[in-house]
Amino acid sequence: MKANNITIIGSGNMGLSLAKGLVKSGLYTADAITLTRRSLGGLKEFAAQGFQTSIDNAEAVKNADIIVLAVLPQQVNKVLDEIKSSINPKTQLFTSVVSGVTCKNIKEKLYDDLEVVRVMPNTAIAIQQSMTCFATDNASAESLEKVKQIFDTVGITIQIQEELMTSATALCACGIAFFLRSIRAASQGGVEVGFHAHDALKMAAQTAKGAADLLLQLASHPEHEIDKVTSPKGCTIAGLNEMEHNGFSSAMIKGIKTSAKIAGELYTKE
C-alpha cells in the first residue's frame, strides 16, 4: 500500500530505523519515502532499495505530505532556516522526533499555523516494536489520527501531554539502552556461572522478553509475577535482594530521572 509521501530530514539512527520500519510494515513503499542527510554516502544502501535520497532539505520537503525532523537538537535551527521557504503550513503536517524541542520552538522558527506533532519513538521501530509517545499543542484530531496510524504500524502508540515528552524520552527512547545494558549485565553473570558468552546472551535476552511479555500479555504487575518466582528461602529472593542491597532499582530510577532532566536541556534556541 502507498500512503502519503513522507520526507525524513536527518537520516541517522532514528530516521533510518523509522524508514525501515515503515516499509517493513507495508504502510509505505520505499519510493514514497525521501531520506536526507548531509552526504549521500551513508544512504547508498537505501537508494539501492528504492528510497529517494537527497542532501537538499529544502527541495526534499516540497512534495512531502508529512515531514519528519530527525536531526540532533543542536542541528535543528540550521535545518529549519533552510526549509522554511519550502514549507506550506496549509497542506503539510510537520512531525519531529527531536528530543527537547517543543512544538512551540518549531512554530516560532517556521509558521504559527503549521500543524506540529512531537513524536518520541525508540530504535525498536526498525522491527515494528517501538513504544512511541506523541503530543501536540495545535494539530487537528485528523492529523493526530494520521500520526497514530503511521506509528501504530511500527509498534504501540500513546498520546501524552506535551510537558511529559522529556519524561517519555527517558523512559522509552533512552529506555532501550537501559534494558539492553540490563540484559548485557545478566549475560555477563551467566558467563560467570558457566555459560559461553553467545549462549548466555541468548538466554538472557529470551528471559527478558518472556518477563516483558508476562506483563504485556497478562496485563500483570511485576511484583505479582516476581512473587511466583521467589520460593521461600530460595535462590531467586537471595539474588534479588543482593541486587537491591547494591542499588538495582535505585540506579534505574536515578538514571531515568537524570536522562529526563538532560532531555529537557538538549535544545538551545540560539
Ligand X SMILES: NC(=O)C1=CN([C@@H]2O[C@H](COP(=O)(O)OP(=O)(O)OC[C@H]3O[C@@H](n4cnc5c(N)ncnc54)[C@H](O)[C@@H]3O)[C@@H](O)[C@H]2O)C=CC1
Ligand Y SMILES: O=C(O)[C@@H]1CCC=N1
CA distance 84 to 58: 8
Q: Quick one: which segment of 72-80, 136-144, 157-165, 249-257 binds ligand X (CB under 6 A)?
A: 72-80
Q: Answer for the pair 85, 20: CB distance below 8 angstroms, yes or no.
A: no
Closer residue to ligand Y (CB): 111 or 178: 178
- Name 96's Cβ contacts closer than 8 Å, sequence gap at least 6: 68, 69, 70, 103, 106, 116, 117, 118, 119
How many angstroms from the chain centroid is the CA of residue 109?
24
Looking at the DSSP assignment, which residues form a beta bridge with residue 52?
Answer: 34
> Which residue in the set 23, 98, 139, 171 belongs to the binding site for ligand X (CB under 6 A)?
98
Q: Is position 172 an interface residue for ligand Y (rule: CB under 6 A)? A: no
Q: Report how many helices (DSSP H) and strands (DSSP E) the chain contains, helices first.
A: 12, 8
Q: Is position 13 an interface residue for ligand X (rule: CB under 6 A)? A: yes
Q: Is position 83 an interface residue for ligand X (rule: CB under 6 A)? A: no
Q: Quick one: which segment of 40-48, 78-86, 88-96, 168-176 binds ligand Y (CB under 6 A)?
A: 168-176
Helices 235-245 + 248-263 axis angle, to 10:
50
Which of ligand X, ligand Y, none lies near 79, with the C-beta cut-off 5 to 8 A by kind? ligand X
Q: Is position 124 an interface residue for ligand Y (rule: CB under 6 A)? A: no
DSSP 225-262: HHHHH--TT-HHHHHHHHHHHTTHHHHHHHHHHHHHHH
- Name 66's Cβ contacts closer than 8 Å, sequence gap at least 6: 4, 5, 6, 7, 92, 93, 95, 146, 150
Q: Is position 174 an interface residue for ligand Y (rule: CB under 6 A)? A: yes
For 32, which DSSP code? Answer: G
Region 94-113 residues binding ligand Y, contact defined as CB under 6 A: 99
Give the contact letters, 28-67, x = binds to ligand X (CB under 6 A), - = no: --------xxx------------------x----------
Pairing of strands 130-136, 115-120: antiparallel
Q: How far is the CB of 42 from ligand X (least distance, A)?
A: 6
Q: Is position 173 an interface residue for ligand Y (rule: CB under 6 A)? A: yes
Nearest to 116 by CA among 103, 99, 134: 103
Closer residue to ligand Y (CB): 68 or 173: 173
Closer residue to ligand X (CB): 23 or 101: 101
Q: Is position 72 an interface residue for ligand X (rule: CB under 6 A)? A: yes
Closer residue to ligand X (CB): 83 or 201: 83
Give the contact letters, 67-96, x = binds to ligand Y (CB under 6 A), - = no: ------------------------------
Q: Interface with ligand Y by CB under 6 A: which residues? A: 99, 169, 173-174
